Structure 1
Amino acid sequence: MSENSDPLLALRSAIKSRATITFSKDGAPVPSLASATHIDLSPSQSYARATPTRWKKSGSGNEGYTLDALYLVFQLQGASGGEYMKQARENGMTVGMVSITERKAVLDYLEGRISDHPSIIQEDAGKGDGSAPAGAATSPQKRRHYVPDAKDVQVVKRMRQNEVELEDRHTVLRGQKLNDFTNLRNIYADKLKKLKDASKTGAAVPAPPSPKARVQGAPIILVSSSPTALVTMYNVQRFLGESVFETSQEARANAGNNRPPELIHIYRKVDIPSNDGTTSMRQATRRYAVYDNAEKMPPDGWDRVVCVLTTGQAWQFRPYKWSEPRALFHHVKGMHVSWANDPPNPKIADWNVTEIKIDKNRRHVDKSTVAHFWRVWTTGWA
């Protein structure tokens, strides 16, 4: 089958050749897949986004994924599982998106790391003559030795090649590599023996050393230095610390029009597990450092940066360790802050950032907005 007539091969060829893939609606170009009806792989190749492909869905017979579902796997390759599903729904994929467990295989095929996959329906798969032979005898006959038809053998081979083993929530978590923990067991067997002997003799068991913190110093949040940014060094303290939003102009006026500090600390109370070995929780205060100038950070600053607030302007990242937005937001969490009634920003469509929407008038929703901000990326820090 030629690439011109097969959308799966055409998409793979366009991605491997790094061709510019665009979107259109009614023959006119549009900025994003969400508003498009067609995907233009080249000036001469345009497919409806819902065009079915030969990549078969798991557990759905011979129904294939649509072209836009496969393209979103490539476009959102750096996104986490939850972010991938969210972005897919925003691009119109309410159903039919590629499952989390199949993303890697689809991406490997589209980028040319593998040449085939069992889920790809072959062009001639399933063809064969299944009709009954003419002139079959109706009277009982002596049983003859069965001789398989050569055509049937080839069909069965192709069926076995395309066979997909069904997976459930248990088998999908099992690794294929067998790990041998014999060495580890031998190491701890000696330690356990010493502990048992010490308990029998009444000797004191030494306390284990306290684990080192994963990151030395406060986690860092970077905000934009743009005067048009909604969250700046003037109002970030009250917004993230007190869950109350006021514009930068208001905050600057309340501060006497002074220059903002180079560093602001925000303290937030979090629940962490108790040290008594039970499942109870205790409250602790966590400190975060906020900068709007990456060059003012300490030498180990980029090892501690956990979140970047952006207005969608790429110049903000020029002095950063990763000046390209896609590379930056592959390493740290990105937050795009805008007004709730602002239209979608096409520049950030493939930046892998989370939208933080601020209402201009309803201050009572600020608390839920800030809670969403902390919840999105702080899981695992406390």
Structure 2
Amino acid sequence: MDASTQDPLLLLRQSIASGSSIRPTTSATPDASAPEANLAQATHLQFTHPSLVSIPIDAPTRFVSNEQPVDLRSIYFAWLNREVAIPEYNASATKLNEELGGAGSVHKFAFVERLDLITWLEGASEESEYIKPLAGDKGDAAGAATAIAAGAGTKTVSAGAKGGSGRGTLDPRLAQIYNGERKMGDRNSVLRGIKPTDFSHIRKLAAQFLSKKPNSQVNPSHPQSLAMNPKVARRPDPIILVSPSVSSILRMSNIKDFLEGGRFREPDSSSPSMLHITRNLKEIDPTRPTRFILVDSTDRFKPETWNHVVAVFTTGQVWQFKTYKWRDPGELFKHILGIYVGYRGMAVPEEIRGFGHRVLATSIDKPDMTRFRDREVVETIWKAIESNMRARGWRRDAAPTAI
């Protein structure tokens, strides 16, 4: 299959979903026996699913950052380093750029961009604000349907007819479906009839529904002031910050088991840069589980990212907050719920008590004891998080714009 007709982002996502081979090579010709090359020397990325095809590794993709398309090498490199902490990811990108010399460069994604890309590639999300839709997503079907309507329903569509976007031949099965369709007319004939109709008075009726704020005034004489077909924004996932301190009993290596499974185990040396967990929050969204993002670094946060942080796990060490939007603990916990988890029988640190009632202090049994009380502590933590989220403005389809 011609590589020019393939979308690099879609090929990468399909290959990841199917677990098929993805190899950087120096061969422009699709060849399953071609040796694998490192990213600094590779000129093409070879996919084996749904067909064997090679795409130039510097090909631009539909992922746009700062109004510029990101190349395939940067996308693939970000996927390979999806589990790597942000400082290590940036160091690896810098090293690869040095190896590339003037032959190209690897784009370093911002935190939210990287999160959005990995979520989409994994298949956990069907849309992304950074990925432009395929040019032929609607064009092919619309173009073919228009051609059928023009033929008054008496002519058949050839299986070799071109689609509306000119990207290739029409699928024979799709052509058969189109041939069986009944001509219904276009929107002009349905809405307007045999003579033009003035619908301008509808603007006055629609103004109260299309205004962004209940009390805002919309001028019906200016169509550009109406939010016609506004894009419905997807509610962002709430974020929980985990303490990066080695003295914390809850770290990135064990907090997922604790919050999602309700059972504590001692932390180990593993340190994923990002985790996802789900939780049913009936007061926020009774229809579906809410997905949370867990991170222990804010290096790549944008200012608006802080509006989505719902909890901060802390040991009381103030150096944890030096990269936060609010470095002073007293100010930080006015905006975000603080959580401290220690061992039962041990005194709560003086620093935690000094932070006041805005930090939830809880305790669990030591590792050598039975774990039947872990679930009770976890439920207490989730109850506090849910209550705080509801107070801050989290809803089924909305998130706070400021905290």
Structure 2 length normalisation: TM-score? 0.37
Q: Which structure has the greater CA radius of gyration?
A: 1
Structure 1 length normalisation: TM-score? 0.39
More strand by share: 1
